[in-house]
Amino acid sequence: MYGLAAIDNSGRIADRTVIRALGWGPGTRLHIREGSGVIVVRLDRQGVFTVTVTGQGHLHLPAAVRHWCGLTAGDRVLLAANPADGLLVLHPPAALDAMVVAVHADVLGGGQA
């Protein structure tokens, strides 16, 4: 399942459809990490670095997480969810740019856009 959402001034992502499909409700504790320019979020009741789903069903990204990937208010992220595994991957603009460039280089040859 995919979604596209903007980050608000408080670091919230308001795509409730994706969050609901994952079965994450208010107070759900999640483990979050950055890897290869994307943010990976998993259900983890005991994780050391956790975030929660707000009462409105929004995922809140702490400032430290937003800084990992250079995210600011208004940036849109691609949400790729796998409800069966309780996994959400957030693709910031820079990660999407890198993927598009790589695909275009492969399809068009020689990096021509």
State which fold the 2-108 domain adopts: Chemotaxis protein chec (3.40.1550)
Is 22 a residue whose pLDDT tops 70?
yes
Is 74 a residue whose pLDDT tops 80?
yes
Residue 39, CA distances (Å) to 17, 35, 67, 71, 81 in order: 18, 6, 11, 11, 12
CA dist 66 and 71 (Å) reads 5
CA dist 65 and 77 (Å) reads 13
pLDDT band at 15 (very low <50, low <70, confident <90, very high): confident
> Which residue type sits at 73?
A
